[in-house]
A and B are shown apart, each in its own frame.
Chain A
Amino acid sequence: MLDITVIWKTLGRLATRVPYTITIAFVSILISTALAILLSMIKIKKVKIASALVELYLSFFRSTPGLIHILLVYYGLPLVLKPFGIILDASGKDLYSIAALSLSYAANLSEILRPAYLSIDKGQHEAALCAGLSGFQKEYRIILPQVIPIALPAMGNAFIELIKDTSILFVIGLTDIMGSAKNIITNGLGINKVEIYIAAGLIYLVITTVGNWGNHFLEIKCQKVKKHQ
């Protein structure tokens, strides 16, 4: 039988790791959004060699599982950076996690951002240019305000997925929610495994439920903005 008191106690201990997990997810989504904007721009503007590289990048990261990205970054990044004189040790696990998640989600997000950008009517671009706006002004003042309400709900969903994906980071030893659940199990010599995992599951359930509410709210707001335009 399940031991409810163990679940309750573990919930309290795991809850202390929530801010850490959310921070990692948040930093990752920020970096990956920046990367995704870069990738989408290169692909939309059809920059010659760069766009072929972007195509390769997207194809690679979209057809390999997230676990591979994490392990490749964890074992591969120090080797890649060594010739440049940067020596990484195995202690900065949060950095590896953020790097892996960012690279992996940049590919996903660019598949959200690019269609959103392309869905803006061509006339908007032309009108902005005819009105005498420069290229940057056009993107910043006319196109971007229209892209954001289209892309934001999907980005919110991706963020929730990313928080769920942080649960595999324990393979490199990150002590996020899942990682500390594993630690608790190891310290307790493997008793009450099911209860501890259920507690971890409940924590994730709370996070994703709150996230979904937030996203729903965001979606309604975006709908209103779109109507307004």
Chain B
Amino acid sequence: MGQYFDLMIVFLMAIVLVLIIMPVFRSLAIRFGLVDKPNARKVHYTPVPLVGGATVFVASLIAILINTEVISNFSSLYPLLVGAAILLLVGIIDDRIDVRAIYKLAIQLALAYYVFASDIRIDSLYGVFGIYEIPEFLQFFLTLVVVAGVVNAFNLTDGIDGLAAGLAIFGFIAFSVIALLLNQLYLMVFFVAITGALLGFLRFNLSKHKKVFMGDAGSLVLGYILVVSAIMLLQQAQLIGYMRYTLATVLGILALPVIDALRVFRRRIKTGYSPFRPDKTHLHHLILNFGVNHKFASAIIVSIAILILALALVFGSYFSITLSVIVILVAFGMISGFSQLNNQMTIWHGKVEELEKQ
């Protein structure tokens, strides 16, 4: 009873802290030009402050400091918090003055190495395609690629109101359950705090007049926390048990941003462009093409994420992880396939109308 009450306090405190801090950060952002200016590719029309990520991080950090479980395991949170803080700083600078992509990647790889050196690493494939323990050089390579990859993939999901936060909330709720199963209560507190802070953030992100964006700072930090937490949970599951549920949950949560990013990169390369060339072909752009607003599109994509998690859990628990990976790929392929078809149809509809006038 006491434990859950503590959680509730942390959760509520995080929400309230965001509601208090956000207006202050928002004013500062406008004053110092830390805003997102609209352009042809973006879906908003007025400059919006980019302080969502910073507010969420600060509020979460303060909220967890009142929890004894966290205090007694604080050192275990260092890789998460230090890495997140560095990414937050780099992200804020990037939001303000556009840091070169190669520098950002270098920071991300350095942080990935820091995580690896802190013994948080992918040391096994946990039976995916029948592979288990892997040699150390492969652990190193995989950890760096996965951490940097997921951080960037999650960053790319921050394209419409409520999406990155919605996916992160969903992810942290699922991870909270796993953390509880694995008796990692300090992690659970941390996830609950972030969830509360994100809910507070959504109040502003979905607002018309006091709108705030996550910013690259926020989406990079959330992606980092999600992927590092995932690795930590997997390592615990190896020791304690519940590996199938843990792995299925991790795959289910991270699948959508990663597969969408890979799909977009593949498409850009196939059409002869750089994979990092910005365009409107991410899943959220395709869903918007159905004529729905941002909130509804975010809701649809979070629902897809829930479906993917459900498939991962069912197939991972009752059959095999390999099968759940295949099922996830097929499901995502079908969803993005239909969305892409609709997108193409919309584009060609316009082109044909132009031809008909000639």
Q: Bound pair: A and B?
A: no
| Residues of B near any A CB (own CB < 8 A) | none
